[in-house]
Amino acid sequence: MKITIHIPTQTLELFDDSGKSVRSYRVSTGANGVGEENGSFCTPRGKHVIRAKIGTGQPENAVFVKRRPTGEIYTPELGALQPARDWILSRILWLSGKELGYNRFGTCDTMRRYIYIHGTPDETELGKPGSHGCVRMRNSELLELFDTVQTGTEVEIVA
């Protein structure tokens, strides 16, 4: 399996081991565009790998803070109470850069920037940039992707 995230089309494409596209999902990447620097709130480009899968067994819409479930389950009512909160829901696929000096180590380390593929509230608009640098997906689609890929799956983010 391999994942390619296309910034211009705001899509995530899943490929099987033969290189055949098997699924495409609408996503939302960084509102600040692309970039690799710490603190930029941009989506990092280049070659990555899924370093960790977090959230197995949690219910759909489980809320995560610092990669830990809070015990909350997201609802639109909860969202209305905290409209500025950056919701990380359902599952986390934590990315790690593979390109030294570009998206790994130093001031441009994807993993140390806590860049994930994660769930987002269903009312969040996808198909246009809007995240703080992560890749947001519909929860039901993220659950499907999470169950399909493994740690070590290659992820390429292209602009």
DSSP line for the chain: -EEEEETTTTEEEEE-TTS-EEEEEE-B-BTT-B--STTS--BPPEEEEEEEEE-TTPPTTEEEETTEEEEEE--HHHHHHSTT----EEEEEEEEE-SBTTTBSGGG-TTTTT-EEEEE-TTS--SS--BSSSEEEEHHHHHHHHHH--TT-EEEEE-
Q: What pLDDT sits at residue 43? A: 98
Give me the residue spans of the domains in the chain. 2-158
pTM of model > 0.85: yes
Q: Retrieve residue 7's tokens.
A: 């910034």
User: What is the model's pLDDT at position 123?
Assistant: 93
pLDDT in tens, the chain (159 residues): 999 999 999 999 999 999 999 999 999 999 999 999 999 999 999 999 999 999 999 999 999 999 999 999 999 999 999 998 999 999 999 999 999 999 999 999 999 999 999 999 999 999 999 999 999 999 999 999 999 999 999 999 999
The pLDDT value recorded for residue 114 is: 97
Kindly tell me the sign of the dihedral angle through the C-alpha atoms of 116, 39, 126, 71.
Answer: positive
Q: Which CATH class is domain 2-158?
A: mainly beta
Question: How deeply is 77 buried, as exposed, middle or buried, from its count of CB atoms within 10 A (0-12, 13-18, 19+)?
Answer: exposed
**pLDDT at residue 124, as a whole number:** 94
pLDDT of 146 reads 98
Say how far apart CA 82 and CA 27 lie, in whole Å: 22
